[in-house]
Amino acid sequence: MKACFVTGGSLNAFWQEKLEKTAKCDLLAFGFNGLGLVSYKRELEGKSEFFHDAAGLSKAVGGVVISGCDTDTYGIFRHSALIADRGRILGVSDMSFSLDESEFRAGGNFRVYETGAGRIGLLVGDDIYFTEAAKVLSLCDADFIVCVYHQVLSNMTEIMLRAAAFSCGVPIALVASEFVSVAGIGGDIVYSSRRDVNETEIRLVKDFHKISTRRRGFFLEQGF
């Protein structure tokens, strides 16, 4: 799969200034720089067209577009990620886990999306710190997982990215402000960069681990 990750500049700025200089790709992903704050009320009233623009860009590239966004649902704020494929909005996933108190509330929308580039699962923000989030998407047969993130401030974020890819057996990409990293199913980093625009080839290889545990002393069999 040919992927392009944009870590700087908005979705529209990329469309107007850099799209023609970018090779055709199957997947184009932005961090939260892509769309910024999106009000559902303004979108429904036609006063803004953030989702329309994302759908239009996906049609222009002929593939999948993913972008982080902060969503305002009539005063309820969430960290979210939008996904569009070839001119059509497929859905919006919200961050399901939150590490610290914030005005942004956790949502609950794990989903794997059927796209022309394969089955793509979305993680948002702090979800990357909880391997059960990636596990849900892997059990739903995701071929690839994309996590949109704000800003990477410590190496723990990349450590958890690698752990999730290894334990769940699915390659995972994290795209953030001025940083992108892709972890393979062996837990290794297959691509990492701080450039604004990053083009790379990703092999969609999955793996499954057989897990056994030793259980002793927990049960006492009794006959009646």
- pLDDT per position as a tens digit, 39-93: 999 999 999 999 999 999 999 999 999 999 999 998 999 999 999 999 999 999 9
pLDDT for 213: 59
Rounded to two decimals, the pTM is 0.88
pLDDT in tens, 156-195: 999 999 999 999 999 999 999 999 999 999 999 999 999 9
Per-residue pLDDT tens digits for 104-133: 677 777 899 999 999 999 999 999 999 899
Tokens of 183: 């972890």
- Domains, the chain, with CATH or none: 2-196 (3.60.110.10)
Please calculate the CA angle 35-194-172 and round it to the nearest 5 degrees: 70
User: Which has the minimum average pLDDT: 18-27, 68-77, 192-201, 209-218?
Assistant: 209-218
Q: How far apart are CA 69 and CA 89, in angstroms?
A: 14
Q: How many residues does the chain have?
A: 224
Position 30: which residue type?
F
User: Token pair of 84, please?
Assistant: 């569009």
Q: How far apart are CA 6 and CA 108, in angstroms?
A: 26
